[in-house]
Amino acid sequence: MYVKSIIALVLVAFLVGGFIFLKIKDKNK
């Protein structure tokens, strides 16, 4: 079942990307 692994990786990447995006956005304020 590679599908579940791919979905998990996508979710983690999304969370990490969003966290970094907020950090950069907050720094630019």
Distances in whole angstroms, Cα of residue 15 to Cα of each of 1, 25, 28:
22, 15, 20
Query: Which pLDDT band holds residue 19 (cuts at 50, 70, 90)?
Result: very high
**Taking the complete model, does pTM exceed 0.85, yes or no?**
no
Q: Which sequence spans correspond to the domains of the chain?
A: 1-28
Helices (H), 1-29: 2-28
What average pLDDT score do residues 15-20 get? 97
Average pLDDT, the chain: 93
Query: Which pLDDT band holds residue 1 (cuts at 50, 70, 90)?
Result: confident
pLDDT surpasses 90 at 29? no
Query: Which pLDDT band holds residue 21 (cuts at 50, 70, 90)?
Result: very high
